[in-house]
Structure 1
């Protein structure tokens, strides 16, 4: 029985955090799920043992009740046989009474041990069920943290893409402004060039007109 409880202690009631914190573990939820499955199997085994122990206790109680009833019956029969002067029958009844009394005493001791063992099993079973519940809650907590981490990762990715888009838009805007500036410079230069040509033509025309008038 002690070996059994030690096995329970080593397998089911082990420190879960020690397992989850291993450096080689890259998937804590996957590991926790596997650990939960193993613990559920062990818990189910203990549950079956508790049920078997209960049936065993009921069998001891049944046998004890029967032995006590027969012992009391043989005791009364020995009294009746003595009153009737049936010495042989009396002795037989007394032998039977002793036999069933001893059996009842043995059954009482066995029943006491069985009840103690059952209580120990039930306590361990309760500890295991509470541990399982705690681990289920831990799994939910880890799943929540994992979801948040994934959400933040995706949001950061989207935000980075938006930043890149904003940067690209800003770059295009700067390029457009630069092109507009160049275009304006070109237009201004072209306007200046054409104006110079027109002024020169006007000057030449005016000189020709002056020359013709003077002649």
Structure 2
């Protein structure tokens, strides 16, 4: 496993770097599918900001990425927090894979390719008089083909509010997102041609 260390707006001592390598190597023993891992140290210069020291750990394997972030008064504290979160994420990931293997063997009911209770809430009808926001940042990445259940796992591993992917069953772009209730929603995108074909087939 390759371990990359980076520092942003700060200097990190060799002692802290060695500690970081040792702790991530110990943490990743929980799950042996990690290919490479990056540790990024950062520090805020504004004294009013609580927990100015930050550590972000990004672990990658084939098809999935795990991200854990920690903060504290110094990098030792931030590292411990990030490591604890990384271990929880890796244990959750391993449990999901074990459960999936059991379902594939027939020990548990197989998933039917759909997520339960994915009805999205209706957006409010009130008009917004605020100025239209502008795009201030662009980010692009390759959409990975996977089934919705795998996308939900990736959503949890990254700790994001939504995750964009290509549905391996339909080939169309989909989004899974976290609802206020704590459940997960699924948005299934369709191309114009697909929508027209579906409409024609139902006529």
> Normalising TM by the smaller chain, what interval?
under 0.3
Larger RCO: Structure 1 or Structure 2 (Cα < 8 Å, ≥ 6 residues apart)? 1
Q: Which has the higher helix share?
A: 1
TM-score, normalised with respect to structure 1: 0.22
TM-score, normalised with respect to structure 2: 0.24
Q: Which has the higher strand share?
A: 2
Look at both structures and tell me which one has the larger radius of gyration over its CA atoms. 1
